[in-house]
């Protein structure tokens, strides 16, 4: 008898049935354009694999920590305010469809 994998872990939830985000709007950036594109591509890939904002933010943060050194912070949502201090050239705030993504390095 074959066993199905457990799916109670939200990180292992099935892929979203909605189409991946298509509309990208950079709202504010203090970051090289190449790195902005990298952030957008990582975010799109993360949303394709999981639609839980917490885990998408975790994936983006960990990927940037790995590629560009610590310490990165990522916040994702539809409605939030922010006021942050970031390292020069290490900040981007963009929308993927209706989801806002704030990514910055500090510390």
- How far apart (Å, rounded) are the C-alpha atoms in residues 79 and 64? 23
Q: What are the structural domain ranges in the chain?
A: 24-105
- How far apart (Å, rounded) are the C-alpha atoms in residues 19 and 38? 20
C-alpha 50: how far from chain center: 11
What sign has the CA pseudo-torsion 19, 24, 28, 31? positive
Q: Which architecture, in CATH terms, is 24-105?
A: 2-Layer Sandwich (3.30)
Q: Residue 103: pLDDT band by 50, 70, 90 thresholds?
A: very high
Token duo for residue 8: 């109670």
For the stretch 25-76, pLDDT in tens is 999 999 999 999 999 999 999 999 999 999 999 999 999 999 999 999 999 9
pTM of the model: 0.80
């Amino acid at each position: 008898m074959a066993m199905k994998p457990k799916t109670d872990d939200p990180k292992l939830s099935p892929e979203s049935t909605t189409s991946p985000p298509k509309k990208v709007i950079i709202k504010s950036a203090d970051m090289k354009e190449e790195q902005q594109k990298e952030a957008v591509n990582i975010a799109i890939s993360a949303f394709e694999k999981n639609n839980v904002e917490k885990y998408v933010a975790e994936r983006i943060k960990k990927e940037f920590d790995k590629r560009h050194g610590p310490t990165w912070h990522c916040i994702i949502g539809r409605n939030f305010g922010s006021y942050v201090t970031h390292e020069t050239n290490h900040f981007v705030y963009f929308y993927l469809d209706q989801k806002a993504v704030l990514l910055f390095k500090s510390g």
